Structure 1
Amino acid sequence: MNNKNFLTTVFILFCAFASGQGNSWSLTKCIDMALQNNIEIKIRQLEIKRTQKSQNSVLNRMLPVVNFYGEQGYNFGSSIDPSTNGRVSSNFQNDNFYLNAKTNLIDFNAFANAKKDKINIELAKAEKEVIENEYKLQLLESYYQALYTQELLKIQKEQLKQASFNLERVTKEVNIGSKPQSDLYDMQLSFSEEENRNLETEQLYGIKKTQLFQLMNVMDVVTDEVILEPYLKERPTYMVESTSYNPKIKFAELNYQSSLKLIGLERANNLPVLSAYYGFSTFYYKTLSHTNASSDSFQNQLADNKSQQVGIQLNVPIFNGFRNNKKIDASKIESEKTKLVIEQEKQQLDKQVALEEQNKKNYLQIQNKWMEKLRYAKASLTTTEAKFASGKIEAIVYSSVKNQFLSAEYEVLKNSLQLQYIDLKINLLIKNHL
């Protein structure tokens, strides 16, 4: 049986064992549950919605602004009579009404702002993906730390069973006088050490699972009953560059695009704005101090005092103390900074992936050594079992050989899990999915 078939068989047997016991949790189940419960991700989802609601299209920005003003005032003493524009000594009531509408026919600032709004939405989405990616990496590491400990505990329990069996056997042999008392002391010491190691691993396993479920924000699960499953999905051994997608690089690229839009926005402030406007106004006047004074009715005055205004306005910036030019220069510098951040993120990703690839290469090299050791341990166990059955060797020797075989099995499985962990981590770094 070659290495690949052996590992596949081990994983399938492990899954069958795990799925039949307790509350089984896979890596994908943990990630899905964690993404649903993470508060920071929920906040980012709301931020995306807020940014979308804040977006204004070019058409929306070009729609006219219409305002209506109403005013009622009272003048006492010497005042200006609105009907004659002469100063009189009287008290009167004055009501004024204005309706104004204005729209920009050509406004480069509106175009620049609309483009920047679209980038802001993409930035909010990319920022959420960055947080999700970092969170997945934390979950992946926590999951496999717990999985390593789970596998170690399984091996140590087998070792403890073997130690218990040998202790009982030696105890019986000492009682009947076929073994010296010193052999019993040796077995008791060996059994005590196995018990202590098993207890320490059980405690560590409980902590690792608790840390995993706390990271997932899942508090209603009894972690003592949880069984973790290895990730068995087949993955390609090569990476397609065209499908590469790292959220941090994407976020940096969008930041650079946003900085370019900001330069365009500052430049738009130097361009002319063509506007059209319309105004409508009227007023009502009534003298209060003269009892015999007569005035037209409210409705007649509003109709007689109507005034309308229509016009086109061109606003051409000429000089503002070079303040806007300085803002443009500052925006260009900021754009260069964001461009360098893209290269920085790419360099960091390349370094991280290269380091993981080297780790993967090392684990692949040592895997053959562990397989070779497992073959030797199995062969040694076979001969040792025969000698032990015939009484040619002591129980402690047989226990030691049995433990070496179990440890060799664990090393093979652990190394395979390490390779699996590295593959998944590289996929998350490069493709943002398992």
Structure 2
Amino acid sequence: MNKKVFLIVLLYTFCPSVFGQDNSWPLQKCITEAMKNAIEIKIEQLNVKKAQKQHNSIVNQMLPNVSFTGNQSYNFGSTIDPATNGRVSSNIQNDNFFLNAQMNLIDFKAFATAQKTKIEIEKAKAQLAIIENEYQLQILESYYQALFTQELLMIQKEQFKNAQFNLNRVTKEVEIGSKPKSDLYDIQLSFAQEELRMMETEQSLLRQKTQLFQLMNVNDVAVAEVILENAIPADSDAVNQSISNPKIKFAELNYQSIRKDTQLERANNLPTLTTYYGFSTFYYKPLNQPNAVVADFNQQISDNKNHQLGIQLNVPIFNGFRNNKRISAAKLETEKSQYAIAQEKLKVDNQIVLENQNRNNYQKLFAKLQETKSYAEASFRTSQAKFSSGVIDAIVFSSVKNQWLNAEYDLLKNKLQQHYVALKISLLNGNTF
């Protein structure tokens, strides 16, 4: 029994990660879960499948249409006798059966339609890529906002230990009479203020993590216990600069689709060549004429068979210039779609330029922030010694300590911001996680 207890204690001591795995959420895990649960992405995936089902290839477009028609009619009074094809005064039951097949041999509209529906599949995929890209950008921003706050809270907690130490020390010194009670009031005020700021940071972190997991559509996680991983890879600046943003690709595909609309309108002015085949037969029976002699049903169906085979050429000549106007309108839509491509490229380029500028600014600030942190840390150490010896009061010491906290957080946030901007630029370039 003692051996089992020893092994359990050893496992907890040297393998804490085994028991903390579920609470650790790196950025990649968040994005993977979000992509799996996003309802909007699932809707777009169905739109892709719908576009694929709606696509008909050229061969499919050219397959014949076959239909069967049957009707039964009753003629009263003066009618045509189907047997003699002469007019008689009688009541006749007439059953007709038709089998028709029609196939287009040349149809320019079918070619354009097949090409357009193929482009629509690519458009649906590009639209899905846009939704995924924008969703990843939202997750990235939400993740790093919470990560900034989490790192700030860790720094505050670490420095709060110093505040507790100083409060306990001053309390004892006041009790033995080596310090005035006013020093205790000052340190108690500083301690309460730090505790309040830490509580506010905890509340802000909980709200931001809740928003992150709501955005991910993950509800079965204890958000308060989640730890976001602060892992900055060494190659965070190595981003692919080749731009393949899905918005640009969608605009280009939309341009191609609209060009096919113009071809469809032009196809209305082109001839179509159609072949057809028809088969028909009928059965008739005079009503209220018991003495009439007619062949039975099977005999009539066999005797009355008729076949028709032909080719039809349809050449449009004049449609009141309506189709020409539709062609002109389609050309204008094509020009508009070209401008849309240029507009999307300009938007993406401008955004990447701004993000690169932000990254350069963060990199330039990094050295200065390191220098500021070293000065603030040195100032804090000397101020701690001065405060312990009573040279400075708690108010001055608290101010120096806050400067150190701010300098340490600003440096860490700068590192995270550089990584965040690098990932954002990668997403804007069309890359995915």
CA RMSD for the aligned pairs?
2.1
Give 1:387 shift: 4.9
Percent of residue pairs identical: 62
- Secondary structure in 1 matching 2:316: coil
Give 1:69 shift: 0.7
Extract structure 1 runs of 4+ deviating beyond 6 A: 16-19
Comparing 281-290 with 384-393, greater Cα deviation is found at 384-393
State whether structure 2 residue 30 is matched by structure 1 residue 30. Answer: yes
CA distance in 1, matches of 2:264, 2:21: 62
- Secondary structure in 2 matching 1:271: coil
CA distance in 1, matches of 2:331, 2:22: 60
Give 1:244 shift: 2.4
Residue 311 of structure 2: aligned partner? 312
Task: Check whether the contact 2:236–2:419 (CA below 8 A) recurs between aligned residues.
Answer: no
Deviations 1:158-180 (A, max 9, x none): 23222121111111111111001
CA distance in 2, matches of 1:137, 1:240: 16
CA distance in 2, matches of 1:203, 1:418: 22
CA distance in 1, matches of 2:432, 2:253: 21
- Secondary structure in 2 matching 1:105: strand
CA distance in 2, matches of 1:196, 1:356: 35
Residue 157 of structure 2: aligned partner? 157
Q: Identify if the C-alpha distance between structure 1 residues 429 and 263 changes in structure 2 by more than 3 Å, giving closer, same or farther.
A: same
> Residue 249 of structure 1 aligns to which amino acid in structure 2?
I
State whether structure 2 residue 126 is matched by structure 1 residue 126. Answer: yes
CA distance in 1, matches of 2:268, 2:122: 25
Give 1:339 shift: 0.5
CA distance in 2, matches of 1:231, 1:156: 20
> Residue 306 of structure 1 aligns to which amino acid in structure 2?
K
For 1:337-356, what aligned pairs fall within 5 Å after superposition? 337-356=336-355
CA distance in 1, matches of 2:140, 2:218: 16
> Residue 67 of structure 1 aligns to which amino acid in structure 2?
S
State whether structure 2 residue 205 is matched by structure 1 residue 195. Answer: no
> Residue 200 of structure 2 aligns to which amino acid in structure 1?
E
Residue 101 of structure 1: aligned partner? 101
CA distance in 1, matches of 2:289, 2:399: 121
- Secondary structure in 1 matching 2:217: coil
CA distance in 1, matches of 2:19, 2:316: 73
Task: Check whether the contact 1:166–1:395 (CA below 8 A) recurs between aligned residues.
Answer: no
- Secondary structure in 2 matching 1:317: coil
- Secondary structure in 1 matching 2:220: coil
- Secondary structure in 2 matching 1:70: strand
CA distance in 1, matches of 2:20, 2:232: 17
Give 1:150 shift: 0.4
Residue 251 of structure 2: aligned partner? 252
Q: Identify if the C-alpha distance between structure 1 residues 70 and 285 changes in structure 2 by more than 3 Å, giving closer, same or farther.
A: same
Give 1:199 shift: 1.1
Residue 335 of structure 1: aligned partner? 334
Q: Identify if the C-alpha distance between structure 1 residues 248 and 234 changes in structure 2 by more than 3 Å, giving closer, same or farther.
A: farther
Q: Identify if the C-alpha distance between structure 1 residues 236 and 159 changes in structure 2 by more than 3 Å, giving closer, same or farther.
A: closer
State whether structure 2 residue 72 is matched by structure 1 residue 68. Answer: no
CA distance in 2, matches of 1:61, 1:124: 21
Task: Check whether the contact 2:247–2:344 (CA below 8 A) recurs between aligned residues.
Answer: yes
Residue 412 of structure 2: aligned partner? 413
Residue 373 of structure 2: aligned partner? 374
State whether structure 2 residue 43 is matched by structure 1 residue 43. Answer: yes
> Residue 185 of structure 2 aligns to which amino acid in structure 1?
Y
Give 1:30 shift: 0.6
- Secondary structure in 2 matching 1:277: strand
CA distance in 1, matches of 2:44, 2:212: 23
CA distance in 2, matches of 1:291, 1:276: 45
Number of residue pairs matched? 418
> Residue 418 of structure 2 aligns to which amino acid in structure 1?
L
Task: Check whether the contact 2:186–2:394 (CA below 8 A) recurs between aligned residues.
Answer: no
> Residue 309 of structure 1 aligns to which amino acid in structure 2?
Q
Task: Check whether the contact 1:133–1:428 (CA below 8 A) recurs between aligned residues.
Answer: yes
State whether structure 2 residue 290 is matched by structure 1 residue 294. Answer: no
- Secondary structure in 1 matching 2:100: strand
- Secondary structure in 2 matching 1:116: helix
> Residue 64 of structure 2 aligns to which amino acid in structure 1?
P
Deviations 1:225-274 (A, max 9, x none): 10001343343645555x42101101101001111111111111111101
> Residue 366 of structure 1 aligns to which amino acid in structure 2?
L
For 1:150-229, what aligned pairs fall within 5 Å after superposition? 150-229=150-229
Task: Check whether the contact 1:272–1:317 (CA below 8 A) recurs between aligned residues.
Answer: yes
Alignment gaps of 5+ in structure 2: 1-15
Alignment gaps of 5+ in structure 1: 1-15
CA distance in 1, matches of 2:395, 2:169: 11
CA distance in 2, matches of 1:71, 1:21: 73
CA distance in 1, matches of 2:237, 2:417: 16
- Secondary structure in 2 matching 1:291: coil
Give 1:351 shift: 1.2
- Secondary structure in 2 matching 1:178: coil
CA distance in 1, matches of 2:303, 2:331: 57
